[in-house]
Amino acid sequence: MLYLKNPYKSIKHIIAIPVVSTLIIPLVIFDLWAEIYHRICFPLYGFPYLKRSEYVKIDRHKLKYLSFWQKCYCVYCGYGNGIISYFGKMAGETERYWCGIKHQADAHFNPPAHQKDFAEYGNEEEFNQKYK
């Protein structure tokens, strides 16, 4: 909670809190849509369901030394960051199924770990060997 050390926190927070808080709306909508996708498409691909509890953990609100608002935002961050990790895993599994080709090498791009076994970019022979 580095914000507690910020001497100018009240002004910055008055500006930031509405923006941060309203992000919950697209997160919940995307969460619902992604879960529909997960439940319909993963069985069609032959993938096991992902366990949401391995990605979303909401527990810091139980800490007695936090204020009410700190607890609220701990719930928000546990949900938001967890659900994004959950979506990332879903997207990675989907990419593994539908694509399987690494991106072109680029010093400014950090490829996701799930792409390690993908065919190399531009390597037609490897692509044919892996997927045909």
C-alpha to C-alpha distances, 40 to 10, 55, 98, nearest whole angstrom: 45, 20, 16
Q: Is residue 1 included in any domain, yes or no?
A: no
In a domain, 10, yes or no: no
Calculate mean pLDDT across residues 14-19: 87
Q: Is residue 124 part of a domain?
A: yes
In a domain, 88, yes or no: yes
At 118 the pLDDT is: 94
Nearest to 84 by CA among 76, 73, 95: 76
Alpha-carbon gap, residue 5 to 52, rounded angstroms: 34
Q: Provide the mean pLDDT of the chain.
A: 92
Answer yes or no: is 97 within a domain. yes
Read off the pTM: 0.84
Both tokens of 25, joined, read 């709306």
**Residue 13 binned pLDDT confidence (cut-offs 50, 70, 90):** confident
User: How many C-beta neighbours within 10 Å does residue 31 have?
Assistant: 19
Per the structure, the count of domains in the chain is: 1
- Output the pLDDT for position 81: 96
Asked if 38 and 50 count as a contact pair (C-beta separation under 8 A), the reply is yes
Task: Note down the domain range covering 68.
Answer: 22-102+111-131
Does 11 fall in a domain? no
If pLDDT is split at 50, 70 and 90, which confidence band does 14 have? Answer: confident
Report yes or no on 56 lying in a domain: yes
> Which pLDDT band holds residue 94 (cuts at 50, 70, 90)?
very high
Q: Is 15 part of a structural domain of the chain?
A: no
